[in-house]
Amino acid sequence: MADHQHDHNHDHSELSDIQLRVRALETILTEKGYVDPAALDQMVEAYETKIGPKNGARLVARAWIDPDFKAALLKDATAAANASGHVSPVGSHLIAVENTPQTHNLVVCTLCSCYPWEVLGLPPVWYKSFPYRSRAVIDPKGVLADFGVTLPADTEIRIWDSTAETRFIVLPMRPGGTENWSEDRLAEIVTRDCMIGTGLPKPEGN
Amino acid sequence: MSNTVHDMGGMHGFGPVEPEPNEPVFHAPWEGRVHALQRAIGAAGLWSIDGGRASLETLPPAIYLASTYYQRWFLGLERRVVRYGLVGEDELKAGRSLRPGAKLAHVVTPAEAARPPMRGNFERPSSASPKFKPGDRVRTKEMNPATHTRLPRYARDKEGVVEAIRGCHVSPDTAALDVHDENPQWLYTVVFTGRELWGDDADPAIKVSIEAFEPYLLRA
């Protein structure tokens, strides 16, 4: 119990330490005229409220119901996303990779945390974590099992390591039982994990 | 640096991946501030994106491994603002500015920050044709530079196939050196079998691709 108490206090003081250091750095950078705190507020708000996986889900849902859009997305996802009036303009080199009955795609950045912010928002902690970065390229089935995903034994798993400024979004397979669904309803079952490759869309979950 | 602890592909022992249901974008307000500070100061263009990455990769391994993601971002940012002369060590210690700031090329305004952010484009005009084409067999170089690179250790000296040409892009290895040279290079998607990367015991169902710059590649 005493040890537990000690650990708790230790963690707490570390947290305070980083809070204080971040606040101090922001103060210094502001006083020197390098940053405007109001601009920082806007940047935080954009990712908390506007830019997230819902943006990517709309592209996927549209690709499911519009074969021309799907072809355009697979040919040049940067252009297709921008032409679709996407909420956050895509700077360059977004690449859409399509899941098929033969191949399942999984995206990772083993070296840091490269992730398609424009379509998925900021990456979750697990994507940036050491377990994911280390295991995705050597034990993708084990990683998928951590997410409760099992694929047929003969499915090829293709891992995309994001080692440059290209960014990847997975186009999952449209699940059966969604034939008459609207684009809006389809977008609701396209989770963030589906577009990284650690999840599959589930119509029954909707 | 090259062979530092950030290069994790294929390592064992970190345990299971633990997804967090209903995860917030930031787990504490300071994380959001670090994210925004990094982007705001980055807009001044003093360092390249790979120069920024290098400052995280060269954190002492024990600190890198013991820090959370945004703690690492913060530690890297603190190093860079000192290294590029924006802030003095004495000011970090004092927690306030002790002298007027330098003139930055660009300070992000609230109006700019309110617009949807757009990531930079790293494609550049090329001065030569690409050496390889889709379908070519290539071997990645054995290389261990003491400086930044984006060729992961697990994919060095391995034979693979060029799947796509992605254009001619800023060289991360050069840009990270602060030499103000983008040294653009052709970029390829190169795919390897699991067995080529991990040996005969590897799962035959897996293939792994990296995004490889032309100087990383030899004809196989």
Q: What is the chain A residue with the closest CA to B91?
A: A28
Q: Tens digit of pLDDT per residue, chain A (206 long)?
A: 333 444 444 444 555 799 999 999 999 999 999 999 999 999 999 999 989 999 999 999 999 999 999 999 999 999 999 988 777 788 789 999 999 999 999 999 999 999 999 999 999 999 999 999 999 999 999 999 999 999 999 999 999 999 999 999 999 999 999 999 999 999 999 999 999 999 999 987 54
Percent of chain B at pLDDT > 90 equals 90
CATH code: domain of residue A105: 3.90.330.10
Separation CA A169–CA A167 (nearest Å): 7
- If asked whether residues A167 and A81 sit together in one domain, one would say yes
Q: Parallel, antiparallel, or unpaired for β A156-161 and A103-108? A: parallel
In chain B, domain spans: 29-114, 137-219
- If asked whether residues A34 and A63 sit together in one domain, one would say no
Q: How far is CA B67 from CA A103, A123, A130, B63, in A?
A: 36, 17, 11, 6
Tell whether B108 lies on the interface with A, counting CB pairs under 8 A: yes
Q: B47 near B180, Cβ under 8 Å?
A: no
Longest pairwise C-alpha distance within chain A: 65
The ipTM estimated for the assembled molecules is: 0.97
Q: Is A194 a catalytic site residue? A: no
Nearest residue to A127 (alpha-carbon basis) of A59, A173, A175, A193: A193
pLDDT value of position A15: 52
Going across the sheet that includes B217-219, the strands are A103-108, A156-161, B206-213, B185-193, B159-169, B137-140, B217-219
Residues 6+ apart with CB under 8 A from B54: B1, B147, B148, B176
- If asked whether residues A63 and A145 sit together in one domain, one would say yes
Separation CA B220–CA B214 (nearest Å): 13
- If asked whether residues A116 and A69 sit together in one domain, one would say yes
- If asked whether residues A130 and A177 sit together in one domain, one would say yes
Q: Is A88 a catalytic site residue? A: no
Q: What is the chain A residue with the closest CA to B188?
A: A164
- If asked whether residues A113 and A158 sit together in one domain, one would say yes
CATH number of B29-114: 1.10.472.20
User: What class does CATH assign to B137-219?
Assistant: mainly beta
Nearest residue to A155 (alpha-carbon basis) of B136, B206, B92: B206
Task: Name the average pLDDT for chain B.
Answer: 95
Q: Parallel, antiparallel, or unpaired for β B159-169 and B217-219? A: unpaired
Q: How far is CA B95 from CA B37, B70, B74, B99, in A?
A: 16, 20, 15, 12
Tally of structural domains, chain A: 2
- If asked whether residues A98 and A192 sit together in one domain, one would say yes
Domain residues for the domain of A35 are 2-49
- If asked whether residues A45 and A66 sit together in one domain, one would say no
Nearest-CB residue to B114 (from A42, A143, A193): A42
- If asked whether residues A58 and A28 sit together in one domain, one would say no
Q: Residue holding tokens 């070519």?
A: B136
- If asked whether residues A116 and A79 sit together in one domain, one would say yes
Tell whether B196 lies on the interface with A, counting CB pairs under 8 A: no
What pLDDT, in 10s, does the model give residues B80-128?
A: 999 999 999 999 999 999 999 989 989 999 999 988 778 889 999 999 9
How many CB atoms neighbour CB B109 within 10 A? Answer: 12
pLDDT value of position B180: 84
- If asked whether residues A15 and A63 sit together in one domain, one would say no
Tell whether B141 lies on the interface with A, counting CB pairs under 8 A: no
Count of pairs with CB atoms under 8 A, one residue in A, one in B:
280
Selecting among A13, A16, A114, A194, the annotated active-site residue is A114
Residues 6+ apart with CB under 8 A from B44: A34, B104, B105, B106, B107
Separation CA A114–CA A111 (nearest Å): 8
Nearest-CB residue to B92 (from A24, A161, A165): A24
**Beta partners for B187?**
B167, B213
Residues 6+ apart with CB under 8 A from B90: B98
User: Residue B134 phi/psi, 5° resolution?
Assistant: -55, 135
pLDDT value of position B41: 95
Selecting among A16, A113, A129, A182, the annotated active-site residue is A113
- If asked whether residues A68 and A164 sit together in one domain, one would say yes
Q: B76 near B52, Cβ under 8 Å?
A: yes
User: DSSP letter string over A33-80?
Assistant: TS--HHHHHHHHHIIIIISSHHHHHHHHHHHHH-HHHHHHHHH-HHHH
Q: Tens digit of pLDDT per residue, chain B (220 long)?
A: 579 999 999 999 999 999 999 999 999 999 999 999 999 999 999 999 999 999 999 999 999 999 999 999 999 999 999 999 999 999 999 999 999 998 998 999 999 998 877 888 999 999 999 999 999 999 999 999 999 999 999 999 999 999 999 999 999 999 999 888 899 999 999 999 999 999 999 999 999 999 999 999 999 9
